């Protein structure tokens, strides 16, 4: 790479043996003769980013839904971790997925919950490979926002299930294992191994054996781009060097965490269990590491769209460190038992706290005239409301971010029962500059969201 003292293209990479490291937005990426700084350039039209974070097994809605509506609302117990980001927060209540109802298919509420969350299309009841649902909002966004990035989208998860065939009352396991569909017949696989995600973002390819050998070396991927990095640092300004150092430090920190997870995985005796290399020992470490990878991908503009499943419907994960040794799915059928409701609410609030870690990262990452959070919209929610009743109405949904100045936060919007969830998805796409007149079972836009 030859760096001249003029300008850098936005898609600049540091390259070395087996590595390609994309750079964050720098002032040097603006033509010198334009008279504009990167800040001014971004202010005229910041990059739009969309994210979708899925929570399984519903929520304790009486502890999720704020008591007040409008801009003066107080955060509910489950939403309380979002206090630092209240000005970026829009809670949307009253939404429903009518296409997740049985419609003659009988039970299968969990499968339909995740299958319809981002498309509002009733999934085909089948145990075979002939699955069918609908293209999801993230993939509609990826078709446009992903044109200028190496990866059109990222699909991440924590819990994966290798089962095939029937997982719930005649529904294929596919419907539980993803929330992203590229087409009505093409569900996208989710990735739960941070090392694989890291290599996808920064690796240069190679065979499986080569990648495994590479990940076991006790060195940084940045070591192979030292020459390019030195040349770049000679020709950029002080502010750019500081921004670049912060970004590369984040990459090194992630690598150390992944390498530590690999050592822990290799040293742990797990009879009859194939522990994937690179997956941390605890749920919290796993989730935060995946969120940090998304944040890095946003910083480097490697992708502008992601989906992330914090858990899988029907999942039985336990949370003993919260005082919740009970399986999550079992607790979701609480029969209004106060003790079970309290435990389920603790899980809901815990997930929200982990999500807040991601928001911290976006807020602290400069992007033009603001932060990554200012220029993003992240939908956080699920496909079930009151899980005890398998309710597909009054869903737990909220949006965090500034949408590049197009989204006003600090509000709780309450809509009539059975307002289609897809109205919110259409509104988010519209805010991202991707107008959709009709999507799934949408009947229009969320007026307050669309009117800012």
Asked if 356 and 440 sit in the same domain, the reply is yes
Asked if 266 and 381 sit in the same domain, the reply is no
Domain membership flag for residue 288: no
- Number of domains present in the structure of the chain: 2
Domain membership flag for residue 234: yes
User: How far is the C-alpha of 61 from the C-alpha of 334, rounded, in Å?
Assistant: 13
How confident is the model over 317-331, as pLDDT tens digits?
Answer: 999 999 999 999 999
Say what the pLDDT of residue 26 is: 66
Q: Select from 445, 449, 386, 452 the least CA-distant residue to 421.
A: 445
User: How far is the C-alpha of 104 from the C-alpha of 99, rounded, in Å?
Assistant: 11
Give the percent of the chain with pLDDT over 70: 75
Say what the pLDDT of residue 400 is: 98
Asked if 188 and 335 sit in the same domain, the reply is yes
Asked if 32 and 83 sit in the same domain, the reply is no
Question: Where is average pLDDT lowest: 98-102, 242-246, 342-346, 349-353?
Answer: 242-246
Q: Provide the pLDDT confidence category of residue 47 given band limits of 50, 70 and 90.
A: confident
Q: Is 233 helix (H, G, I), strand (E, B) or coil?
A: helix
Domain membership flag for residue 295: no
Say what the pLDDT of residue 200 is: 84
Asked if 323 and 185 sit in the same domain, the reply is yes
Q: Provide the pLDDT confidence category of residue 45 given band limits of 50, 70 and 90.
A: low
Q: Select from 185, 98, 179, 170 the least CA-distant residue to 133.
A: 185
Asked if 180 and 230 sit in the same domain, the reply is no
CA distances from 61 to 33, 81, 348, 386 (A): 55, 16, 10, 6
Burial 320-331 (b: 16+ CB within 10 A, else e): eeeebebebbeb
How confident is the model over 194-229, as pLDDT tens digits?
Answer: 888 888 887 644 444 554 555 455 456 566 556 666
Average pLDDT over residues 25-49: 55
Average pLDDT over residues 180-186: 95
User: How far is the C-alpha of 403 from the C-alpha of 428, rounded, in Å?
Assistant: 9
User: How far is the C-alpha of 276 from the C-alpha of 192, rounded, in Å?
Assistant: 9
Asked if 323 and 433 sit in the same domain, the reply is yes
Q: Provide the pLDDT confidence category of residue 425 given band limits of 50, 70 and 90.
A: very high
Residue-range definition of the domain harbouring residue 246? 1-45+199-278
Asked if 166 and 208 sit in the same domain, the reply is no
How confident is the model over 5-21, as pLDDT tens digits?
Answer: 446 665 565 555 455 56
Asked if 71 and 186 sit in the same domain, the reply is yes
Residues 263, 267, 268: CA angle, nearest 5 degrees:
120
What count of other Cβ atoms lies within 10 Å of the Cβ of residue 249?
A: 11
Domain membership flag for residue 285: no
Say what the pLDDT of residue 226 is: 63
How confident is the model over 279-304, as pLDDT tens digits?
Answer: 888 999 999 999 999 998 998 888 99
Domain membership flag for residue 80: yes
β-bridge mates for residue 191, sequence order? 156
Average pLDDT over residues 397-426: 95
Domain membership flag for residue 301: no
The predicted model scores a pTM of 0.81
Average pLDDT over residues 328-354: 97
Q: Last residue of some domain: 258, 278, 298?
A: 278
Average pLDDT over residues 374-380: 97
Domain membership flag for residue 283: no
Asked if 356 and 213 sit in the same domain, the reply is no
State yes or no: pLDDT of 32 exceeds 50: no
User: How far is the C-alpha of 77 from the C-alpha of 66, rounded, in Å?
Assistant: 9
């Amino acid at each position: 790479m030859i760096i001249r003292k003029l300008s850098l293209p936005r898609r600049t990479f540091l390259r070395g043996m087996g590595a390609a490291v994309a750079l964050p937005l720098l002032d040097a990426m603006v033509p010198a003769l334009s008279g504009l700084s990167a800040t001014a350039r971004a202010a005229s039209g910041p990059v739009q980013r969309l994210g979708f974070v899925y929570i399984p097994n519903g929520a304790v809605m009486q502890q999720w839904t704020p008591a007040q509506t409008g801009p003066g609302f107080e955060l509910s117990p489950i939403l309380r971790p979002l206090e630092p980001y209240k000005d970026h927060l829009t809670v949307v209540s009253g939404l429903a997925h009518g296409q997740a109802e049985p419609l003659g298919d009988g039970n299968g509420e969990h499968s339909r919950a995740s299958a319809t969350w981002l498309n509002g299309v009733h999934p085909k009841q089948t145990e075979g490979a002939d699955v069918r649902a609908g293209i999801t909002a993230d993939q509609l966004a990826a078709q446009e926002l992903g044109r200028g990035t190496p990866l059109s989208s990222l699909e991440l998860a924590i819990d994966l299930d290798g089962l095939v065939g029937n997982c719930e009352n005649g529904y294929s396991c596919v419907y539980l294992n993803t929330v992203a569909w590229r087409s009505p017949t093409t569900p996208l696989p989710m990735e739960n191994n941070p090392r694989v995600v890291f290599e996808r973002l920064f690796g240069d390819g190679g065979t499986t054996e080569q990648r495994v050998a590479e990940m076991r070396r006790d060195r940084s991927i940045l070591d192979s781009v030292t020459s390019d990095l030195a040349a770049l640092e000679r020709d950029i300004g002080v502010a750019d060097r500081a921004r670049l150092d912060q970004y590369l430090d984040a990459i090194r920190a992630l690598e150390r965490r992944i390498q530590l997870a690999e050592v822990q995985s290799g040293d742990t005796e797990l009879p009859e269990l194939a522990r994937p290399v690179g997956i941390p020992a605890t749920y919290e470490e796993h989730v935060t590491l995946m969120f940090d990878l998304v944040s890095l991908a946003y910083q480097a503009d490697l992708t502008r769209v992601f989906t992330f499943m914090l858990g899988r419907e029907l999942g039985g994960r336990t949370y003993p460190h919260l005082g919740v040794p009970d399986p999550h799915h079992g607790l979701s059928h609480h029969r209004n038992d106060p003790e079970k409701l309290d435990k389920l609410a603790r899980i809901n609030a815990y997930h929200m706290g982990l999500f807040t870690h991601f928001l911290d990262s976006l807020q602290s990452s400069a992007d033009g005239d603001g932060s990554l959070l200012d220029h993003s919209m992240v939908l956080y929610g699920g496909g079930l409301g009151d899980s005890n009743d398998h309710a597909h109405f009054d869903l737990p949904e909220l949006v965090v971010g500034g949408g590049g100045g197009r989204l006003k936060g600090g509000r709780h919007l309450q809509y009539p029962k059975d307002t289609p969830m897809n109205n919110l998805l259409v509104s988010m796409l519209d805010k991202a500059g991707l107008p959709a007149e009709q999507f799934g079972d949408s009947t229009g836009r969320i007026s307050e969201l669309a009117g800012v």
